[in-house]
Chain A
Amino acid sequence: MRFLMRRLGFYLAAFAVAITLNFFIPRWMPGDPTTRIFLGLRGKLTPQAMDALRASYGYDGNLWDQFMVYLGNLAHLDFGVSTTNFPEPTSSLLFYSAVWTLLLVGLATAISFVIGIGMGIYSAWNRGGFFDSVFTPVNVMLNAFTPAIVALILFYAFSLQWRLFPLGRAHDLGIEPALTFEFIINVLYHATLPVLSIVIVTFGSWHLGMRNTMIGLLNEDFVALAKAKGLSDQRIRYRYVARNAILPQITALALTVGYVLGGALITEYVFNYPGLGKFTLSAIQARDYSFIQAQLLLLTASVLIANLISDILNLILDPRLRSRTQE
């Protein structure tokens, strides 16, 4: 429990850093949003209107008061009014689009982790063999192909050329969003290519990580002892080596969520998928600053929650961690 409390304390502190950055970045940069809007309107704004605008964005008063107001709004999940869909609050569009982004990230992470870990176990067990010497380098190289490019290639081949997959959207317009079989299948169909592009650029790192950790463990004495005892290969491979080797991968999993999120943002842009990435980019073009800032906080919170989950998983899988924390 003490272990979890310590981690929780760290995540809260990290979130505080994100909030502080989010508050200060626009204030450090040359020209805050209100000045931008003022310039954009070419002086058609009266000084009074300008003051009102500053107040509505929370840029009036001294810095400390601004910070307090900002924190107070955050506590109510009030990210300000969206300038793109004007009367709507930022939070409604934010949470709508976040659902789709998290769906992509969740599916892609799960699939790529399972594939990568499986391949890692196989190539570590048969290290130096054909599969290992060919696919380990190839899969890791796929990592360097960046989501943007893989998404472009898949979009070109499957959506434009062969017309096997849709050109955009998260589901067909004709289908009523509900928890029906038909709707779920339609959503998965639309998510296939975006998810696939993320899987292609990420599974290689699980493959390599699992393989390298397992190779290190295979030289350990406990494996030699297990062999001497005559335990089956199956048992040694999964219960003895893979179980130990997967722990660092789970820690790494939480750290890569941030990277996968970034990849998802770019992928959505290519596939015209209505997630956070697409709306963030239109927010940038529309200078909807409250949305741009809100997405950072939401994504940071998601990454931190993913880290907390991985801590709990580690605690379940690793008895050593449990006994140490009971002290």
Chain B
Amino acid sequence: MTELTEAMPPQEAVASRPATPGRKAPSRAEIAAELGIKPPPRWARGLPRGLVAFLTNKKGMAGVIILTIIVMSAVLAPMIVPHDPFRRAGGPHVAPNAEYLLGTTRVGKDVFSQLIYGGRTSLLIGFVAGLAATVIGVFVGVAAGYFGGRIDEILSFFVNVVLVLPALPLIIVIAAFVEQASPLVIGLVLAVTGWGFAARTIRTQTLALKTKEFVLAAELLGEKKWRIVLMEIFPNMLSFVVGGFVLATIFAILAEAGLEFIGLGDPGAVTWGTMLYWAQRNLALEVGAWWEVWPACIAIMVTGAALVLINFAVDEITSPQLRASRGVGRVKAFLKARGRSVDVF
């Protein structure tokens, strides 16, 4: 009898059998501590699992915090800015000092005030264009995936065309004929050209969900089609929608800045892109007025980085394999410390 138990130890004992015989098997809590696995915090109980996964994701929360600070400073801009961003506030190209935190531009506008104020337009256009592109993408993707057949063929054709046409050259043509595109027009054009990726992902997801039993059950119960789409399919791919929104927003913010930088925007507007446009036109770098260039650059980079961090977190939620891969290094170390093979990875 003793021989049998030795030959076939219980499952937990196998997983954690110490390399040196005679040492006591570690408890579950000890293994969890060594592997760095934390139990879900108490406040998380009762919340949806996807939400908890996001809230406990360090990268994602870092992104959210950075983005919140940037958005708040943009929203509260009128209270923060010390000078009128549209008017001359001091001498030309004054270096940063106590009065002008980030110096002044060549025409004497306060860079700090422009930076905070510019965030309003840049972020607003970015988020609205990203949202619009996502909405179009979700509609087209769900319709193509759910209805299939001829509708799918026609919609997929347009999705592929939008994906394949080079966005920036097309935007340049449109902007050239609109002449001095206002931020709103740029946002509109970006939404119309930027929905392809979201539509493709959503279509694939819809195709996968359509064949699931719960959708079939709803169909057999005689539910209306719009209800199935809205109540059964849509909630199950929410994380893909969020991921698509984040990516579309990144694209929109960067593209808007790029377009305005090369002079296709309205040079009278104050945005991060037009700040760069004026800095480049005034040869700010060449004359050594670095403060006219770098603040807007850094603002765009930090915003982009924060959104990328959020997208990372969303990615890890939509694909558990990626989340698991983060722990592989620790599991390997754990096994090695016990003299076990790590060949399984």
Contacts and interface: CB of A to CB of B under 8 A. Distances in A.
Interface of A: 10-11, 13-14, 17-18, 21-22, 25-26, 29, 126-130, 132-133, 137, 140-141, 143-149, 152-153, 155-156, 160, 212, 215-216, 218-219, 227, 255, 257-259, 261-263, 265-266, 269-270, 277, 280-281, 284-285, 289, 292-293, 295-296, 299-300, 303-304, 307
A25 B174 contact: yes
Interface of B: 59, 157, 160-161, 163-170, 172-174, 176-178, 250, 254-255, 257-258, 261-264, 276, 280, 285-286, 290, 293, 297, 300-301, 304-305, 307-309, 312, 315, 319, 321-322, 325-332, 343-345
Given A22-B173, A147-B258, 19 more contacts: A14-B161, A29-B177, A29-B178, A128-B326, A128-B328, A128-B331, A141-B308, A144-B304, A145-B304, A146-B301, A148-B257, A255-B164, A262-B255, A265-B262, A266-B168, A284-B263, A289-B177, A292-B173, A300-B165
A277 B285 CA distance: 21
A144 B170 contact: no
25 contacts: A17-B161, A17-B165, A22-B173, A25-B177, A128-B327, A132-B325, A137-B309, A137-B312, A140-B308, A143-B308, A144-B304, A146-B254, A148-B262, A148-B276, A156-B293, A218-B345, A227-B344, A258-B164, A258-B167, A258-B169, A259-B167, A261-B168, A266-B168, A277-B262, A284-B172
Contact of B328 (A22, A127, A261, A281): A127
Nearest to A27: B177
Given A21-B170, A149-B297, A212 B319 contact: yes
Contacts of A255: 163-164
A210 to B, nearest CB: 13
A281 B263 contact: yes
Contact of B304 (A129, A141, A289): A141
Nearest to A129: B329
Nearest to B168: A262
A107 B173 CA distance: 26
Contacts of B321: 215-216, 219
Given A145-B304, A219-B321, A284-B176, A128 B332 contact: yes
Nearest to B328: A128
B160 A25 contact: no
A13 B95 CA distance: 55
Give the most central of A148, A152, A156, A281: most B CB within 10 Å: A148
A284 B297 contact: no
A305 to B, nearest CB: 11
B308 A289 contact: no
Contacts of B329: 126-130, 132-133
A211 B223 CA distance: 41
A158 to B, nearest CB: 12
Contacts of B174: 25, 29
Given A128-B325, A261-B168, A296-B169, A146 B285 contact: no
A98 to B, nearest CB: 12
Nearest to A218: B345
A128 B173 contact: no
Contacts of B309: 137, 141
B161 A127 contact: no
B28 to A, nearest CB: 22
9 nearest interchain CB pairs?
A144-B304, A262-B168, A128-B329, A258-B166, A128-B328, A29-B177, A127-B325, A146-B254, A299-B169
Given A127-B328, A281-B263, A284-B172, A144 B250 contact: yes
Contacts of A227: 343-344
Contacts of B343: 227
A262 B254 CA distance: 12
Contacts of B59: 137
Nearest to A125: B345
Given A22-B173, A269-B262, A284-B263, A258 B307 contact: no
Contacts of A130: 329
A145 B306 CA distance: 11
Contacts of B297: 149, 152-153
Contacts of A281: 262-263
A64 to B, nearest CB: 21
